[in-house]
Amino acid sequence: MINKTDIVLTGDRPTGPLHLGHFVGSLQERINLQEIYTQYVMIADVQALTDNFDNPKKVHENVMQVALDYLSIGIDPKKTTIFLQSCIPEIAELTVFFLNLVSINRLKRNPTVKTEISQKNYGEHVTAGFLMYPVSQTADIAVVKGKFVPVGHDQLPMIEQANEILHDFNRIYQQEIFPKIEAITKENTGRLPGIDGKNKMSKSLGNAIFLSDSEDQVAKKVMKMYTDPNHIHVVDPGNVEGNVVFIYLDIFDQNKDEVENLKLHYQKGGLGDVVIKKRLIDVLNNFLEPIRKKRAEFAKDPEKVMEILKVGTEKTRQAAGETMQEVRSAMKLQYF
């Protein structure tokens, strides 16, 4: 059912190319959502700077990479408005207003932020900018009156905190300006493990397969994949649970019956890792092939890509301006 009045907003930090974990967790969903809702997808360059403020070059370069990732997987600029966060000053303005509605202790308790602070060893030296990025993320969504946010599971505490802020805003300024936000997460395929079998695929953990990887890179990574450490000889019975190759086959192999047969064979013994890895290499490369082709097309014309971002950004500014008029009026900030 088409419903263009409800708004979807989501985004990614341009700190590196996007990978299969992003695809499974959120990107894939966006391709469906753009058919139903009014969808905005944001390249979160301001948020990327919160932990990369001393490396603006990295953020700048990855804006193009992320834009190419979007376009090559089928996020269609005719259906989805793609925009740059830093070009919407209304987001910064709204963030300032929202900051009054959240305590520093509440920010420190946000599980996503807490994990990141400890991973990055910030400790007591965490910057104000980093600590408050959930507030700016709330503004990202609210500025276009976003209702649905397709995200990975790690972002759920963000949505919870955003709803607290928006609820308080509507209550204090006595207007239902912002809708309650709902996360859209994928239950069964919530999290894709890295090739090392670690819980989460991530660029910084060095265990990712990127959407932009070549056939060779994919093959090398799959050959290194974590399987069952006790499956030493081909004849040994092997474990399929926690076996990354089978986890990926379950998600990406269209031939479900054959995957079930392979699992049975592997558990019984007599099926070597190389055989299942070769199958996965084919499956992943078949999946990535059309994405690579499209990427190469767009990469030939970076000006066209920038033009898509420009048009999307202008459209977003329009919507953001309208929201801010309501916000300013509710907050009694209209003077002239």
Binding footprint of ligand TRP on the chain (CB under 6 A): 9-13, 44, 47, 137, 140-141, 149, 151
The contacts of residue 47 (CB under 8 Å, 6+ apart) are 11, 13, 85, 133, 136, 137, 140
Based on CB atoms, which residue is closest to ligand TRP, 56 or 302?
A: 56
Based on CB atoms, which residue is closest to ligand TRP, 140 or 228?
A: 140
E strand or H helix at 183: strand 182-184
Based on CB atoms, which residue is closest to ligand TRP, 50 or 207?
A: 50
- Lookup result for tokens 């990574």: 221
Based on CB atoms, which residue is closest to ligand TRP, 88 or 240?
A: 88
CB of 149 to ligand TRP, least distance (A): 5
Exposure class string for 305-314: b at 16+ Cβ within 10 A, else e: beebbeebbe
CB of 112 to ligand TRP, least distance (A): 8
The closest alpha carbon to 279, from 248, 313, 316, belongs to 248
315 and 283 Cβ atoms separated by less than 8 Å: no
CB of 47 to ligand TRP, least distance (A): 5
CB of 284 to ligand TRP, least distance (A): 23
Based on CB atoms, which residue is closest to ligand TRP, 26 or 227?
A: 26
Q: How far is residue 184's CA from residue 198's CA, in Å, rounded to a whole number? A: 24
CB of 275 to ligand TRP, least distance (A): 36
The closest alpha carbon to 309, from 154, 32, 77, belongs to 77
